[in-house]
A = this chain, B = another copy of it.
Amino acid sequence: MLEHFKVPSDIAVKVPVDRLRAATEAVFMKCGVAEEEAKLGADVLMFADQHGIDTHGVSNMLRSYVANYNAGALNPDPVFSIIKETPSTAVIDGGGGLGLMTAPKAMDIAIDKARATGAGIVTIKNSGHLGAAGYHAMMAAEQDMIGWCMTAGGNSMIPTFGAEPKLGTNPIAFAAPADKEPAFMFDAAMTSIAGNKIGLASRLDRPLGAGWVANEDGSPNMDGGAAANFAANSLRMQLPVGSTRELGSHKGYSLGVMVDILCGQLSFAPGFATQALKRRAHFVAAYSIDAFGDVAEFKSNMDGMLKGLRETKPMPGHDQVWYAGLPEHYEGIKRGEQGVPLHPEVVDWFRSISAEFEIPFDLVEA
- B176:A254 contact, CB within 8 angstroms: no
- A162:B313 contact, CB within 8 angstroms: yes
- A305:B88 contact, CB within 8 angstroms: no
- Given known contacts A91-B293, A247-B247, A287-B121, is B242 in contact with A314 (CB within 8 Å)? no
Give chain B nearest CB distance to A19 CB in angstroms: 32
A196 at the B interface (CB under 8 A): no
Which one of A5-13, A27-35, A58-66, A184-192 contacts B? A184-192
A234 at the B interface (CB under 8 A): no
A304 at the B interface (CB under 8 A): yes
- The residues of B that contact A292 with a CB separation of less than 8 Å are 84, 89, 91, 123, 266-268
- The residues of B that contact A80 with a CB separation of less than 8 Å are none
- Given known contacts A87-B87, A272-B304, is B248 in contact with A193 (CB within 8 Å)? yes
Q: Mark A304-327, 1 if CB is under 8 A from B, else 0.
A: 110011001111101011111000
Q: Mark A277-317, 1 if CB is under 8 A from B, else 0.
A: 00000000001110111000110011011001100111110
- Given known contacts A291-B86, A305-B272, is B254 in contact with A315 (CB within 8 Å)? no
Give chain B nearest CB distance to A43 CB in angstroms: 24
Give chain B nearest CB distance to A187 CB in angstroms: 9
- B89:A119 contact, CB within 8 angstroms: yes
Interface residues on A, range: 35 or more
Copies in the complex: 2
Residue of B nearest to A187 (CB): B254
- A320:B161 contact, CB within 8 angstroms: yes
- A265:B163 contact, CB within 8 angstroms: no
Residue of B nearest to A87 (CB): B117
- A247:B87 contact, CB within 8 angstroms: no
- The residues of B that contact A250 with a CB separation of less than 8 Å are 188, 322, 324
> A273–B311 Cα gap in the complex (Å)?
12
- The residues of B that contact A144 with a CB separation of less than 8 Å are none
A67 at the B interface (CB under 8 A): no
> A272–B81 Cα gap in the complex (Å)?
43
A44 at the B interface (CB under 8 A): no
Give chain B nearest CB distance to A301 CB in angstroms: 6
Residue of B nearest to A293 (CB): B268
- The residues of B that contact A298 with a CB separation of less than 8 Å are 265-266, 268
Give chain B nearest CB distance to A5 CB in angstroms: 12
> A192–B211 Cα gap in the complex (Å)?
15
Given A163-B315, A273-B308, output 19 extra A-B contacts at Cβ < 8 Å.
A2-B245, A86-B288, A88-B117, A88-B119, A89-B119, A146-B261, A174-B254, A209-B246, A214-B315, A217-B316, A219-B316, A241-B248, A241-B252, A242-B242, A255-B255, A257-B305, A261-B302, A265-B298, A267-B292
Task: Rank and list the top 5 A-B pairs by shortest CB-CB distance, nearest first.
Answer: A218-B315, A89-B118, A86-B118, A162-B312, A88-B118
For this complex, 26 residue pairs linking A to B, each with C-beta atoms less than 8 Å apart, are A83-B293, A84-B291, A84-B293, A87-B117, A88-B117, A118-B121, A159-B312, A161-B315, A161-B321, A163-B315, A166-B309, A174-B261, A184-B261, A188-B250, A188-B251, A209-B247, A217-B315, A218-B314, A241-B248, A250-B324, A251-B252, A254-B324, A268-B297, A268-B298, A272-B301, A272-B304
